[in-house]
A and B are shown apart, each in its own frame.
Chain A
Amino acid sequence: MLRMLIDRLAFSILALLFVGLLLFVLTRGVPGSPARVALGLDATDTQIAQFEKDYGLDRPVVEQYIRWLDQLVLHGDFGRSFVTGRSMNALLTETLPITLELVLFAFAFAVAVALPIGVLSAVYEGTWIDHAARIFAVIGVSVPGFWLGLMLIRFPAVEFGWFPPGGFVPLSDGVVAHLQSITLPAFALGVYYIAVLSRMTRSGLVETLGSEYVRTARALGLPRGRVLWYALKNALVPVVSVGAMSFGYMFGWALIVEYLFNIPGMSNALLTAVGQRDYFTMQAVVYVFTIVFIVSNLAADLLNRQLNPKLASAQP
């Protein structure tokens, strides 16, 4: 098991390096100096030269890459944005927790709703519960999150006034107000994943409930709850994998939701950076997304090994 873990870890690091290089090439390969973007069209050559020196842009690309890597890996420093001049670490510290909280809420919400629905659909397979869940799932997976968000703003927020139509209230300004400000965005973000995860749970559980080891469990007279757990523990394995990937993907869709609800999270920062042609910030943000994605996949792997130890001794 340790060997597998090391193998996965090594691959993750390689993937990170590869993506980092790719991003670096993309952001540095853009024609036209960032200096022009930052200083404007009427900047003099001297100003441009000075700017480039400040940001190390006058060095050969390879050297720039090594410096960037060194700065990041050894000092944990993402550098400075050449547009705003701010430290990107500061930006990330400000915005990442917000996006993280939004995604965590949405994810927790999705899992909390999806698992029971999936289990009920499987246990009551073929009944109206199952059919209703299926219809809900089809709709949930097809309705774009941001449109749902828009509708939520229109109705519960504007019409009924139950929730704020946007904006983010930090925790320091009151727990209730804070929660109110993230409820709609989290809901809009999570609905799609409720649909996906509930269906996966259902199909996995239907399959395991029909397995021979569940038949043995029944033959031994185990109580119903226990039999269900016997089946579920096995059925959850693919759900956990998909769940982890979903967690990563959620960060992507959080972008649209943050944009829609005016939430100052990391995804929104990416959009702002795009608008300002702030390539370095874009690179940093995308890189953080990648790290999160890879880490959540690793976590899923670990969790799966806990659930089904047969995987631990299986070949990679």
Chain B
Amino acid sequence: MSVAERPLAEASRVMAALQRIWQGARLNWATTTGAVIVLVAVGAAIFAPLIAPYDPIEVAIENKLLPPSAEFWLGTDHGGRDILSRVIWGARASLTVSLLAVAIGVTGGVLIGLFAAYHSGSWVEQIVMRAIDAIASIPLLIWAIAIIGIVGVDSVDIGPFTFTNVHKLLILIGLLYMPTLARITHAVAQVEMTSDYVKARRVQGAGNLAIMFGDVLPNCLSPLIVQATLLVAIGIVVEASVSFVGLGVQPPTPSWGSMLADARNYVFSGEWWMPVFPGAAISLTVVGFNLLGDGLRDVLDPRRSTGRLLT
């Protein structure tokens, strides 16, 4: 291939890949819809300062409780703040909590799961997995509320760091995700450890750590990715619920959950736009992650080592 022909070859390869993706997207419109929704939500969270038309925190009583109009697309709340802007900024709170919580959960869960699988068959494994099961025997929401209730909603200073309630919440949810993710990792790793290729690697002289992280872990990734996506969806609802009862994101920071809490006071009067839009935002984002997770499952984990939520 001559120097001149190379860029052309590259371009046609890219075109072919894009075509495959497009065909895949057309076949599975549900997953694509999910992916699009997720991108929009993440985009809103990241670019909030740029795309939100108004300041989400500044109170302007003169504008309070206005219905949707050309000026305020989604209306205003009891503080005269533009609901559209607050919804866009709210994405930031929800997604930060859910995504970081999942990140923590995956990291911790994988390490624990691999550790337990490494000691497969010994009492160490038994104790670790039983402890995991015990922690998992309390519903997530109850744990979250109880612990936040115990430690309080104020910011905590540890050394140079300040942990706001949001941080506490996401760490807590992350910790509570670990059992599920540890279980998945452990289950897959246990099977992999007894497989022939691991034995072959041992014969090659590879150390245990290398095998764990180099060979076993990549095989656990598929169900983990699927579960992680679904846990993000759950995390969004958990954050909204905790904020709804006042134990999550503290005002005046906008969060979909606390917006719904505000709207609660106005449910008897006619301001329907106050509860409808934040709730729709939550629902839509969760739909997006669920669809994406399901689609990923069909592609990555058709053997169903993760629980099937939507067929």
Contacts and interface: CB of A to CB of B under 8 A. Distances in A.
A200 B306 CA distance: 13
Interface string B272-300: 10011001001110110011000000000
A279 B152 CA distance: 11
A134 B310 contact: yes
Interface stretch (B107-115, B133-141, B158-166, B220-228): B133-141
A147 B145 contact: no
Question: Main SS of chain A's interface residues?
Answer: helix
A134 B311 contact: yes
B267 A154 contact: yes
Nearest to A150: B275
Interface stretch (A13-21, A77-85, A107-115, A212-220): A13-21
Contact of B138 (A11, A271, A286): A286
B290 A15 contact: no
A23 B135 CA distance: 11
B249 interface: no
A138 B290 contact: yes
Contact of B142 (A22, A30, A137, A252): A252
Nearest to A23: B146
Contacts of A282: 146, 149-150
Interface of B: 30, 130-131, 133-135, 137-143, 145-152, 233, 237, 240-241, 244-245, 247, 260, 263-264, 267-268, 272, 275-276, 279, 282-284, 286-287, 290-291, 307-311
B245 A252 contact: no
Interface residues of A, number: 57
Nearest to A274: B149
30 contacts: A11-B130, A18-B131, A18-B134, A19-B137, A138-B290, A141-B309, A142-B287, A142-B290, A143-B279, A143-B286, A144-B240, A144-B286, A150-B263, A150-B264, A151-B275, A151-B276, A153-B267, A199-B308, A242-B307, A251-B139, A251-B142, A253-B141, A255-B245, A267-B142, A270-B149, A274-B149, A277-B149, A286-B142, A293-B139, A294-B137
Give the residue among B140, B150, B268, B282 with the most A Cβ atoms within 10 A.
B150
A95 B267 CA distance: 26
B142 A147 contact: no
A22 B137 CA distance: 13
